[in-house]
Structure 1
Amino acid sequence: MDTSNTIASDSPQFKIAVIGGGIGGLTLASVLQHAYKIKCTVYELDDTENSRNQGGSLDLHVNSGQLALEKAGLTDQFQKNARYQGQDLIITNKTGKVLYQDSGSDGPTGGDDDRPEIDRTILRHMLIESLEEGTIQWGKKVIKLEEDSKDNGNHRHALTFQDGRTETFDLVVGADGAWSKLRKFVSDAVPFYTGIFFAEVCLTNVDIDHPAASKLVGHGTYIALQDNKGLLCQRNGDGSIRIYVTIRVEENGLSHIDFTNPEGPRNYFLDRFSDWDDTLKVFIKEASSFIPRGFYMLPIDHTWKSHPGVTLIGDAAHLMSPFAGEGANMAMLDGANLAEAISEIVHNGKDLATTIEKFEKDMHEIVVVPAAESAKNMDMFISDDAPEGVVNFFETIQAAGGPPQ
């Protein structure tokens, strides 16, 4: 753990609980400590950093994810692990015909178009290692949040944990993801199913064990689309490729398939993709497992009446589809911006209620555009019009000098 940015012992005692040790919550904690010398405690349900699979690769954007890492003092570490060649993009139809191809760069260009990839596992480890020892409390499940009746209007809240311990905080931040337990404290909104389902596949040691898949995907992202279906493939830095076998289907429409036995989903998807070229079916045929996932999202304009002492960031606040690559970037920006707001309260004596309300208002205004883009892109990628509509989209962006992804 990083001990170079020790929090000053005379810092005001403002107790902050961050519920959830995902990318957003960890970014908040890291920026608080590095930029503002403010303590917080992150409560994470998992027992260890590697208790479960953290997913694939993320592209970090200059004015959100990369900006947050800069405020956390992690730019140099990010540059050591960033994969600029991961910006390569290939789009084909179901015959495997390449309709669009764009090569990324081997290094930073210094422009807003730089969106290098980094494995989520590495990014999360960087953030964890940047924190002071003891900042993260592992294996801590929150079972109740309630206002402290004795706080005399100071907006303090008590958290009760599964182990029976109760502790009171000045500010509780819900960074606990799509199915946030804290969201219901400020909002009645629940994620709704988008109509799109994917099965996640991971092929490991691809250069040796899966050479055909490795050659198709190359250094970056390979996307095959048609007939409301898709094979979304992404190279990771650990020598693996993540594939998302994507279809439109009603909610729970695949409940009859036993995903614990790979042969069940394999046969199902081979049937659904029966008229696709055999070269593309390699991603299904060579899969050792299929992880079922449905796409859920919150309303694009999701807001709530500010509740002093409690707020939300990341997917807990604005769960969106992954088709614009904005979810993690917005969560990291949320964390950095909330850290700045907290510093105004702690160091400059600003009022907690009005400062957090302003943060929330600003967050909603920032996120509504990428949330709308994500929803629009989802319906463009998995549609009757794909891949032509997607190709036209990227060609238009490229002609305008915009970002490749």
Structure 2
Amino acid sequence: MTRIPRIAIVGGGPAGLTLACVLHAAGIQSTVFERDVDPHERPQGGTLDLHEDSGLVALARAGLMPAIKAVARYDDQGTRLLNKAGKLLFEDSGESGDRPEVDRTALRDILISALPDGTVRWGCTVREAIDQGNGTWHLSFDHGMEGPFDLVVGADGTWSRIRPVLSPYKPQYSGLTFVEFGIDDVDRLHPALSILVGRGKMSVEADGKAIIAQRNGNAHIRGYAIFRVPTDWVGKRFDLSTPDTMREALKREFDGFANDIVDLFAASNEHFAVRHIYALPVGHFWAHRPGLTLLGDAAHVMSPFGGDGVNNAMLDAAELARLLIEREHWAKAVIEFETLMFARVAESAHGAAEAAATFLSYDGEALTLDMYRTHSTAPLESAG
């Protein structure tokens, strides 16, 4: 390849860290700028199912499969669908599945540990990317300017600070709001709920609302109460001031559901989060600009239905790294990467948008049951 570029990666999530890891495995240095002050400043979200043709491909290219196999949960790939009365409508044990589960925090720790000290610059919130007019870029932070960089990769998520330099489009609200809750030590403290959720994911959908509960590592259940509502609905309808008032509000909203299901809220811990689901337009793209690109949610954020978001992001990273490594001219490699990415993510973006549009419809339970029967498993990516 031509001279190895000075690479800045904005965002230390799965996409940015995977890119840094695959490049490092090939002897190419990069710098990751992450706003978190340390790796465990905030929760990283729930479990991910790693897809054989995307997330696992990326981790293999980074040489991280032994570390992943040590923490992946191959026995937590099951799917259960109940009706509001608690009757089991569908169950797939997931025993033959090829999508092992891994907690986001564990994945991030593995990616970070594979990088040399100093690769990730913590506590660095990017304000904007500034074109120097000579093919290089500077990054503006609260602490000052960094650069010059030959290539800036925006891997900074839904509300990317890099995207506006390339694209005028902003993520739009899907109409779905998730209220996230968690249950600790479920096997010991709440054995009935452990059985209800099973070894994987349990969902129930009725009356224009839904509950999805996912088994995470360390006997933790991460759950979501899902509503199709305006963005200010939860704030107006719920008392958000204490965990007790949140539990009572959720129990009230699901009045009429089986007690065994509503008990999920009574068992929840002290941590609740309201998450509005946003997405970029299907087919989102931009005109290439030298020295700048996007990947992951910064490029194509979509609803969590289908479980493709993080897997797409990690494959983005692996493919950009591959082209930078293999092509003689790195700048042309970036153009090739963008062209291929735009085409590759279109199908999953369309599927996620269609699922978000039809979820919680008047016959949502029947549609979900048909989807499960057709596809055997239909994951929901953690919204966290």
* TM-score in terms of structure 2 length: 0.94
Q: Give yes or no for contact 1:65–1:328 (8 Å, CA) kept in 2.
A: yes
Alpha-carbon distance in structure 2 between the residues aligned to 1:260 and 1:44: 30
What is the root-mean-square deviation in Å for CA atoms of aligned residues? 1.7
Question: How far is the alpha carbon of 1:404 from its aligned partner?
Answer: 6.2
Code of the residue aligned with 2:221 in structure 1: it is: I
Q: Give yes or no for contact 1:160–1:167 (8 Å, CA) kept in 2.
A: no
Alpha-carbon distance in structure 1 between the residues aligned to 2:59 and 2:36: 24
Residue in 2 that maps onto 1:25:
16
Alpha-carbon distance in structure 1 between the residues aligned to 2:260 and 2:218: 24
Q: Give yes or no for contact 1:198–1:246 (8 Å, CA) kept in 2.
A: yes
Query: Helix, strand or coil: the match of 1:387?
Result: helix
TM alignment of 1:133-144, pairs within 5 A = 133-144=117-128
Code of the residue aligned with 2:48 in structure 1: it is: L
TM alignment of 1:277-292, pairs within 5 A = 277-287=258-268, 288-292=270-274
Query: Helix, strand or coil: the match of 1:279?
Result: helix
Residue in 1 that maps onto 2:146:
166
Alpha-carbon distance in structure 2 between the residues aligned to 1:57 and 1:240: 10
Out of 296, 300, 311, the residue aligned to residue 282 of structure 2 is 300
Residue in 2 that maps onto 1:82:
72
Question: How far is the alpha carbon of 1:375 from its aligned partner?
Answer: 1.7
- Which range is displaced more, 331-340 or 155-164? 155-164
- Which range is displaced more, 315-324 or 246-255? 246-255
Asked whether 1:330 is paired with 2:320, we answer: no
1:146-190, Cα deviation, whole Å (9 max, x unpaired): 1113x2xxx211112211233210000000001111110100111
Asked whether 1:101 is paired with 2:91, we answer: yes
Q: Give yes or no for contact 1:92–1:387 (8 Å, CA) kept in 2.
A: no
Question: How far is the alpha carbon of 1:206 from its aligned partner?
Answer: 0.9
1:186-221, Cα deviation, whole Å (9 max, x unpaired): 001111111111111011111122222212112211
Residue in 2 that maps onto 1:222:
202
Question: How far is the alpha carbon of 1:269 from its aligned partner?
Answer: 2.1
Question: How far is the alpha carbon of 1:286 from its aligned partner?
Answer: 2.1
Residue in 2 that maps onto 1:5:
none
Query: Helix, strand or coil: the match of 1:364?
Result: helix
Code of the residue aligned with 2:89 in structure 1: it is: L
Q: After the TM superposition, which segments of 4 or more aligned residues of structure 1 sit over 3 Å from their partners?
A: none
Out of 163, 172, 180, the residue aligned to residue 160 of structure 2 is 180
Out of 272, 281, 287, the residue aligned to residue 253 of structure 2 is 272
Residue in 2 that maps onto 1:373:
351
Alpha-carbon distance in structure 1 between the residues aligned to 2:38 and 2:282: 33
* TM-score in terms of structure 1 length: 0.89
Query: Helix, strand or coil: the match of 2:361?
Result: coil
Identity of aligned residues (%): 39
Asked whether 1:359 is paired with 2:331, we answer: no
Count of matched residue pairs: 377
Question: How far is the alpha carbon of 1:258 from its aligned partner?
Answer: 4.1
Asked whether 1:343 is paired with 2:335, we answer: no
Alpha-carbon distance in structure 1 between the residues aligned to 2:363 and 2:307: 21
